[in-house]
Amino acid sequence: MAQGTLSGLKVAILATDGFEQSELLEPRKALQQAGATTEVIAPKGGRIRGWNHTEWGQEVAVDKELQSADADEYDALLLPGGVMNPDKLRAIPAAVSFARSFFEADKPVAAICHGPWTVIESGAARGHRMTSWPSLQTDLRNAGAEWVDEEVVVDGKLVTSRKPDDIPAFNRATIELFGKERQAR
């Protein structure tokens, strides 16, 4: 994607300790290279720690604590995976409410790997064609989504992918979807 494609777009990245490192860092870098401003939103301030496949990874600075974040200030939402990260977030009512706000406002959302757990908890999975880490397929079907095993799926204003290997396709689809939002503004 050309640099500046997302210039002026502000993207919230909702995450907490245990996010899959590559699923936050690589999409964030791609979004920023395309011109978007990104902010990491987390239930706590300071830093959150990533998970790098089988062990703890890098820490990332939190830009804004969840309690002071307002979804109205953002144009799009990124939900990285990792097992721990979305499992913790879906148990935090403020995190679920924050994610739900993007769906209610018809803003684009990108979720990868286990990130769709937050989509499920927000009540927004119903009626969507989605993909995820394979172990979430029953959860997504039970939530009313159509689960498919594809590297990236775009359904309306929702883009989903399965795993770190899908990040290049996920990044392209996310930038394209978020770019349509920028053009619509």
pLDDT (tens digit, 9 = 90+) per residue, 22-63?
999 999 999 999 999 999 999 999 999 999 988 999 999 999
- Is pTM beyond 0.85? Reply is yes
113 is catalytic: yes
Q: At 2, is the pLDDT very low, low, confident or very high (cuts 50, 70, 90)?
A: low
Q: What does the pLDDT read at residue 5?
A: 87
Is 4 part of a structural domain of the chain? Answer: no
In a domain, 106, yes or no: yes
Number of domains in the chain: 1
Q: What is the mean pLDDT of residues 137-144?
A: 98
The predicted structure's pLDDT at residue 153 = 98
Q: Is residue 160 part of a domain?
A: yes
User: Which entry of 88, 114, 128, 163 is annotated as an active-site residue?
Assistant: 114
- Map residue 86 onto helix, strand or coil: helix
In the predicted model, what is the mean pLDDT of residues 73-79? Answer: 98
Q: Is 30 helix (H, G, I), strand (E, B) or coil?
A: helix
Residue 185 placed within a domain: no
Residue 185 reports pLDDT greater than 70: no
Q: Which structural domain range is residue 133 located in?
A: 10-180
> Catalytic residue at 128?
no
Residue 126 placed within a domain: yes
Share of the chain above pLDDT 70, in %: 97
* Catalytic position from the list 34, 40, 60, 113: 113
We report the CATH number of the domain holding residue 60 as 3.40.50.880
Listed in sequence order, the residues at least 6 apart from 109 whose beta carbon sits closer than 8 Å to its beta carbon are 76, 77, 78, 79, 99, 102, 103, 119, 124, 157, 158, 159
Which pLDDT tens digit goes with each residue over 163-179? 999 999 999 999 999 99
In a domain, 172, yes or no: yes
Is 14 within the bounds of a domain? yes
Per the model's pLDDT, the better-predicted residue between 72 and 182 turns out to be 72
User: Tokens 């503004």 map to which residue?
Assistant: 185
Exposed, middle or buried: residue 45 (CB in 10 Å: 0-12, 13-18, 19+)? middle
